[in-house]
Amino acid sequence: MFSKIMSYVYVFADWFIRLLALNLLWIALTVIGLGIFGWLPATLTVIYILKSWLHQKTPVRSVKQYGSLYWKHLKKAQKLNAILVVFALVAYMDFFFFAKQSPLVASVGIGFLMSVILAVLILLLYVLPIYSEPDATLKFAVQKGLRLGMQQWGRTALTCIGLLLLIGLYYVRIDILLCFGVSLSLFWIVKVTKAVNIESGADPKGM
């Protein structure tokens, strides 16, 4: 019994240190990428590392490997980053446009806009883990992510509920947010959506 308890303690301590290190790594890589250009490559890099640990792939160990992996993601992520930035700007302008309309039009318009934003965020739960594979194309990631998102409603709901609970935890414990906010959230996404088992499906003619 004691040895079993100690094994659980060891696993908890191991992942505690890993997630803390990954969160610090995400912050550092985001700063290196100048914020708006670095957050997505940093996110993809952390997701890939989590997948390597959970899926028992060849682990990323050296600083050189981290740098090489981040550089690949930095180059490939800018297409998706640009799409997300444009989408956010359009959604921002649409929100204020609908807010100035009559109450009925505003309610319908803002409701529709929120539905679209929610759908995009749910899609990203699957797209990002797939796109984190260095040779995965954006086209493949979106197609595969859309298919999985429509097939795995149970996992999608569980992922969203877990993220909402984590957000509530971060709200009351800012220290947990600062130390584990990104890494713990990404760990939950990768673990629950099972996107860890998805291959890259590289397409040299894709995006």
Q: What's the confidence (pLDDT) of residue 58?
A: 62
Give the pLDDT confidence of 160-202 residue by residue, as tens digits.
999 999 999 999 999 999 999 999 999 999 998 875 445 544 4
Q: What's the confidence (pLDDT) of residue 17?
A: 94
What does each C-alpha distance from 15 to 112, 163, 184, 195 come to in angstroms?
40, 18, 10, 19
Long-range Cβ pairs for the range 140-148 (8 Å, 24+): 140/200, 140/201, 140/202, 140/203, 140/206, 144/198, 144/201, 148/193, 148/195, 148/198
Q: pTM score, two decimals?
A: 0.85
Beta-carbon neighbour count of residue 33 at 10 Å?
20
Query: What parts of the chain have a pLDDT lower than 50?
Result: 196-197, 200-207
Q: What's the confidence (pLDDT) of residue 61?
A: 61
Domain ranges of the chain: 2-197
Q: What's the confidence (pLDDT) of residue 201?
A: 46
Q: What's the confidence (pLDDT) of residue 125?
A: 92
Return the structure tokens found at 87.
Answer: 């989408």
